[in-house]
Amino acid sequence: MNRAVRWIRTYMRGSEEERPEQIRLGDEIMQFLIKRETSLADALDALTAVMLNALGAKFGERDEFSHFSEQVSGFPGLTERDRAVGLIPRPGGLAAKVQPRTVTMVGERTERVRRLAIEVGEAMTKHRPKSLSDGLDALTSTMLTAIEATCGRERADEFDLLMAGFSKEMNRFSGGRVQ
């Protein structure tokens, strides 16, 4: 698990006021995805689109962005793609006994993802993260939470490795940490 996600998970237990802005923003986006009964595939693609849009505005269009988008789109397995984004089950809790739901999507997928990305982008604009890095952390933590809730911790750890590789690529061409 990368350092940012470990840090974010330690703050998940605090009160709303104690949580850093990127945690509150990530929580709001996650609640939005749950309320809309968003499929995992749509959620990942929309959040990736918002992330790459912000990075493209700062660094211009890059081949690394297209490659990363393809990797994220292909990440969910066939049985995982249509699972509804939900809460992470806690051991012994009611959610731990509930099987993941599959959602039936209506309409064309590209339009659903585009609309979802616009709404997530509007939430990001409303909260105005202090830095690009804070905004990216909020999106990343939301993606990892969505994967862990629908597919389990092991799959979330696999995605975390994918994110770590992309982070290394970004550091390579940006000359350091993205601010």
CA distances to 41, 110, 125 from 5, in Å: 21, 29, 22
Q: What is the pTM of this model?
A: 0.79
Q: Is residue 179 part of a domain?
A: no
8-state DSSP, 114: H
Q: Which of 7, 4, 9, 3 is nearest to 153 (CA)?
A: 9
Could you read off the pLDDT of 63-117 as tens digits, one per residue? 899 999 999 999 998 888 888 888 776 555 444 444 455 555 556 778 889 998 9
Q: Which residues contact 73 (CB under 8 A, 6 or more apart)?
A: 41, 44, 45, 48
Q: Is residue 161 part of a domain?
A: yes
Q: Cα-atom radius of gyration of the chain, to the nearest Å? A: 16
DSSP codes joined into one string, 144-158: HHHHHHHH-HHHHHH
Q: Which of 148, 135, 146 is nearest to 52 (CA)?
A: 135
Residue 105, pLDDT score: 57
Q: Which residues contact 145 (CB under 8 A, 6 or more apart)?
A: 26, 30, 88, 156
Residue 102, pLDDT score: 57
Residue 16, pLDDT score: 52
Give me the number of domains the chain comprises: 1
Q: Which of 87, 9, 22, 83 is nearest to 51 (CA)?
A: 22
Q: Is residue 59 part of a domain?
A: yes
Residue 146, pLDDT score: 92
- The runs of H, that is alpha helices, within the chain are 3-11, 21-35, 40-59, 63-74, 94-97, 109-127, 132-151, 153-174
Q: Is residue 160 part of a domain?
A: yes
Q: Which of 99, 97, 96, 106 is nearest to 38 (CA)?
A: 106
Could you read off the pLDDT of 106-144 as tens digits, one per residue? 567 788 899 989 999 998 888 888 888 888 989 999 999
Containing structural domain, residue 150:
3-174
Could you read off the pLDDT of 2-41 as tens digits, one per residue? 544 544 444 444 555 566 777 888 888 999 998 888 999 9
Q: Is residue 92 part of a domain?
A: yes
Residue 96, pLDDT score: 41
Q: How confident is the model at residue 52 (pLDDT cuts 50, 70, 90)?
A: very high
Q: Is residue 82 part of a domain?
A: yes
Could you read off the pLDDT of 156-178 as tens digits, one per residue? 999 999 999 998 888 887 766 55
Which amino acid is residue 99, in one-letter code? Q
